[in-house]
Structure 1
């Protein structure tokens, strides 16, 4: 169905737009809106530099990402090949990304960013139109640094990795109450605490090591542990179960790494090709799919040389979970090589319960104690939305997560053979917020003045963020766009997406926040890309190929380079 909007009283191109957040999604959203003709676009960020998780204040030596060169970039700006490209198998460092995003800002967004401007609250403007944004402007020369800004339209690009989560018994306050003698901080602050950490954990003698305990098994836990081990610090990493990972002896060819192959093998709520229907709805296809993912996991363990009794082999399922890292090729000084060399100690399965009474240890759930001179909590993040919206606005927009036990108005079933014998859905797992396409809250679908970018959990964040930015620009411009025709229809479609996520990734909603993963298309991001293109009335499946080769054709970000011109042509044709 196609939604034909009525004419608005004011031209949206002449009204201000606020983009909240200067990470990957925020930068490409602001750029796209400006290119699309919006004359007054402004980014608000509490940081001193652009990049979000890749900002200068958060990037530290040894930080690397799951992407290789050519993936984590936008179509308007090529990325220079890093000097370490060959050594790392194409893997990008945090500093590579920081430099790229800084260059993008300098090239396209100078003068469009309010740095050190923290958003304290967003609520509906007077008269029920637009948005009042309460900010703390640290750069303001006036005495009143807290003030209200007004924007007719807002794009929320705050992501999900800037509001750290602390288990109550391990929070810095709990450490202080237990008289723990060393520093305790979240992995988000690792970059700013490195010098202090290295100083306070320097050994006092050859027989007096100063242990660092890292709580968690995710990418940030691994990077922090590897950095410290390479600096000669004894490190113990404690977790219940390890994240899954992929690895290969040589860099994967684009026909595997950048194609639709993994998405085809992962399945989606809509099976749009004969191959996908065969793989996910036939008995033999289900065997092929399950065997494919199990083989990937076992092969990755072998490539990294993990001993058979290594706790790093006890991972979450690659198929059923989204906590999967791409380790790439084996590298000297990496987390896995350091564990194999005995320079990082793994304690698993275990959970840290509290700080020890001696002020120099942590206590595990089985009563064991582990020496600790410092503790790094890689314990995840809370929603970035809750601090900036009051309950009334959360309810108005419909951004609240629906509680455990919520039942959608319709029943949705996917009787795929590939989904046989799924893990049980945790009883305490809430439903995600009802956000259509993870871009617009279903309850405010027809208003066309509020959107979200960056809340989709996928393995190709840059591609989806750029494509989503074009979708949002079309939405704000009131272009002809395939949308639900009513709030009820939008809620039903959001319910369907949430029901699919619970079926496909049973554990994910239990550990992600709504701002981190309102939409989850981890391996199946190409299917989402096709949907967004078709929403805008543009050709999908841009990688091409015939009935045999299309799953192996690389999906390149440059396929999106001319979306603006395509949308303009579509707009002209719809008015003639």
Structure 2
């Protein structure tokens, strides 16, 4: 009897962001030629696609954390070591043209995903964005790569509908629309110094995250008066000189950030002893203080109202601060900051917003940098989500069942009750635990880290091995997988207090922020491949630069392992 060849099965990859592109490429290299990539967009790139990239947009990392081992990136002359939005868009379009030619169906919106009528395979309802026609596609396997940064979250009290009801006359839109609304804002709000301009003309930006900062910097550089209202800014790393690779691109930050499994003696010392914990917190406090020094922030500056760099996953790597980026512009008074504060409604004068303390701010346009919700809810009905195991849920075990007595985790900041911090049950952030034995559904792009390119590339190999039925280190049963995910959820609640309260479903299964090297090691070991590939002695290993070259031959390594097993 012939053994079924999984490479002949039809595979659907949904999404053409970083995770979708590298997943499709890896599957194709592994022989899954009956593969199609679906995207509702007109071009590839996800959050870096052409219609979302606006002038001045740059990544919040300085190096190659958004590229793949098989293709180098060329930076524009204005990039200053940091990829611009245009750089990343060009890179992904080049990658897709070279590696996925003819495999992508553009302007094809996935409306619904459900199991096949026989209980196997998948039915994918799609809508053609050009013709408006609908059809149902059938696939044996699916990889969901839609991420959590495409569907905007708009608070009801600040929505365009609420603005209209209050009589607000200015523009109101989410930051995801900024590229398409730039001209509207620039024509509505006159630049500083323009004849006939009202001195109070202003754009109000709601939020203190990366998109709020990017939009504020762009408008300020265009000469507009900008006011940013926030409670707490994202933390940032900055220095007066470029940080060396043996710190930025090594394991230094990862071992200074505790992991749920301490693998080395050094990590045990740092996170389970009094002296080690002291070193850890001095290190992170030094990084925060150095960033304030680099931007020249005064002691009473609102720029210092940031999330903790140790306890948070909201951190941007600014490198050497630039005078035309957010922090320096705000420090020099070219961007007004109102903090701590929240915008709660629109004023009835038609030209203002109201803050939670009763103050009113003039606003001729309002940009809502209020985050994103997961795309998953709109494409899975409740029954499929529950059966598959995609839904977030409150803790199912008491806090005492899983607890890490790390000295570095003593004295955490205030947080909501743990029962409010819901998490998902996605094993390794890649496979719903309830579905792990079927090997027909996976997710890439739901792991939150500071090195998406490398993490998603290794994850794509893990997914391909999983689909191929390779021998892997996997839980024996769905119950074992669920136990692992519950432990992971408990870890996230302890490690990052309150982060799960605001994170959407696409990211609440795996937060490997600075711990991406450990996350990669876990995936490599699952595939029975060597981990900790950077080398070094017992003294130098934390400072060895981690390179994409370390994972450039994973396809060949996995094939060699497969051949060896067959020969035994």
- Fold shared by both chains (TM-score > 0.5): yes
Structure 1 residue 298, shift from structure 2 partner: 1.1
Partner of 1:461 in structure 2? Answer: 452
Q: Equivalents in 2 of 1:518, 1:195: separation in Å? A: 39
Partner of 1:166 in structure 2? Answer: 154
RMSD over aligned CA atoms reads 1.5
Partner of 2:28 in structure 1? Answer: 34
Question: How many residues end up aligned between the 2 structures?
Answer: 563
Partner of 1:199 in structure 2? Answer: 187
Partner of 1:412 in structure 2? Answer: 402
Which deviates more from structure 2 when the two are superposed, residues 67-76 or residues 433-442?
67-76
Query: Out of 43, 56, 61, which is 1:62 matched to?
Result: 56
Q: Are 1:215 and 1:377, in contact at CA under 8 Å, matched by a contact in 2? A: yes
Partner of 2:78 in structure 1? Answer: 84
Q: Do residues 447 (structure 1) and 456 (structure 2) align?
A: no
Show structure 1 runs of 5+ residues with no match.
1-6
Q: Equivalents in 1 of 2:96, 2:112: separation in Å? A: 26
Q: Do residues 371 (structure 1) and 365 (structure 2) align?
A: no
Q: Equivalents in 2 of 1:82, 1:517: separation in Å? A: 34
Q: Do residues 17 (structure 1) and 14 (structure 2) align?
A: no
Structure 1 residue 407, shift from structure 2 partner: 2.7
Structure 1 residue 170, shift from structure 2 partner: 0.3
Q: 1:395 to 1:9 in 2, by over 3 A?
A: farther
Q: Equivalents in 2 of 1:488, 1:78: separation in Å? A: 42
- TM-score by length of structure 1 reads 0.96
Q: Are 1:246 and 1:324, in contact at CA under 8 Å, matched by a contact in 2? A: yes
Partner of 2:485 in structure 1? Answer: 494
Q: State the Cα deviation string for residues 509-541 of structure 1 (Å, max 9, x = none).
A: 011101134210101110010000000000000
Query: Out of 397, 415, 437, which is 1:425 matched to?
Result: 415
Q: Do residues 237 (structure 1) and 228 (structure 2) align?
A: yes
**SS at 2:151 equivalent:** coil
Q: State the Cα deviation string for residues 477-515 of structure 1 (Å, max 9, x = none).
A: 000011000011000000111111111001210111011
Structure 1 residue 343, shift from structure 2 partner: 1.1
Q: Equivalents in 2 of 1:69, 1:451: separation in Å? A: 28
Query: Out of 164, 177, 182, which is 1:176 matched to?
Result: 164
Partner of 1:3 in structure 2? Answer: none
Partner of 1:185 in structure 2? Answer: 173
Structure 1 residue 92, shift from structure 2 partner: 1.3
**SS at 2:184 equivalent:** helix
Q: Are 1:410 and 1:492, in contact at CA under 8 Å, matched by a contact in 2? A: no
Query: Out of 81, 106, 109, which is 1:115 matched to?
Result: 106
Partner of 1:218 in structure 2? Answer: 209
Q: Are 2:448 and 2:510, in contact at CA under 8 Å, matched by a contact in 1? A: yes
Structure 1 residue 324, shift from structure 2 partner: 0.9
Q: Are 2:62 and 2:317, in contact at CA under 8 Å, matched by a contact in 1? A: no
Q: 1:409 to 1:306 in 2, by over 3 A?
A: closer
Q: Equivalents in 2 of 1:71, 1:460: separation in Å? A: 5
Q: Equivalents in 2 of 1:153, 1:425: separation in Å? A: 39
Q: Equivalents in 1 of 2:399, 2:508: separation in Å? A: 22
**SS at 1:169 equivalent:** helix
Partner of 2:237 in structure 1? Answer: 246
Q: Equivalents in 2 of 1:108, 1:139: separation in Å? A: 25
Q: 1:425 to 1:206 in 2, by over 3 A?
A: closer
Partner of 2:142 in structure 1? Answer: 154
Q: Equivalents in 2 of 1:342, 1:484: separation in Å? A: 55
Structure 1 residue 252, shift from structure 2 partner: 1.2
Q: Are 1:408 and 1:495, in contact at CA under 8 Å, matched by a contact in 2? A: no
Q: 1:207 to 1:201 in 2, by over 3 A?
A: closer
Q: State the Cα deviation string for residues 18-66 of structure 1 (Å, max 9, x = none).
A: 0010000000000000001111111100111100000000000111112
**SS at 2:143 equivalent:** strand
Q: State the Cα deviation string for residues 522-572 of structure 1 (Å, max 9, x = none).
A: 011100100000000000001111100000011111211100000001001
Question: Matches of residues 287-298 of structure 1 in structure 2 within 5 Å?
Answer: 287-298=278-289
Q: Equivalents in 2 of 1:224, 1:16: separation in Å? A: 41
Partner of 1:388 in structure 2? Answer: 379
Q: Equivalents in 1 of 2:330, 2:555: separation in Å? A: 48
**SS at 1:492 equivalent:** helix
Q: 1:448 to 1:39 in 2, by over 3 A?
A: same
Q: Do residues 473 (structure 1) and 464 (structure 2) align?
A: yes
**SS at 1:422 equivalent:** coil
Q: Equivalents in 2 of 1:35, 1:241: separation in Å? A: 45
Structure 1 residue 338, shift from structure 2 partner: 1.0
Partner of 1:52 in structure 2? Answer: 46
Partner of 1:559 in structure 2? Answer: 550
Question: Matches of residues 311-326 of structure 1 in structure 2 within 5 Å?
Answer: 311-326=302-317
Partner of 2:511 in structure 1? Answer: 520
Q: Equivalents in 2 of 1:268, 1:52: separation in Å? A: 30
Q: Equivalents in 2 of 1:291, 1:478: separation in Å? A: 46
Structure 1 residue 416, shift from structure 2 partner: 0.6
Question: Matches of residues 235-274 of structure 1 in structure 2 within 5 Å?
Answer: 235-274=226-265
Show structure 2 runs of 5+ residues with no match.
none
Structure 1 residue 340, shift from structure 2 partner: 1.5
Q: Are 2:172 and 2:365, in contact at CA under 8 Å, matched by a contact in 1? A: yes
Partner of 2:267 in structure 1? Answer: 276
Q: State the Cα deviation string for residues 282-308 of structure 1 (Å, max 9, x = none).
A: 111011111111111111111110111
Q: Equivalents in 2 of 1:179, 1:120: separation in Å? A: 35
Q: Are 1:457 and 1:516, in contact at CA under 8 Å, matched by a contact in 2? A: yes
Q: 1:117 to 1:261 in 2, by over 3 A?
A: same
Structure 1 residue 69, shift from structure 2 partner: 3.8
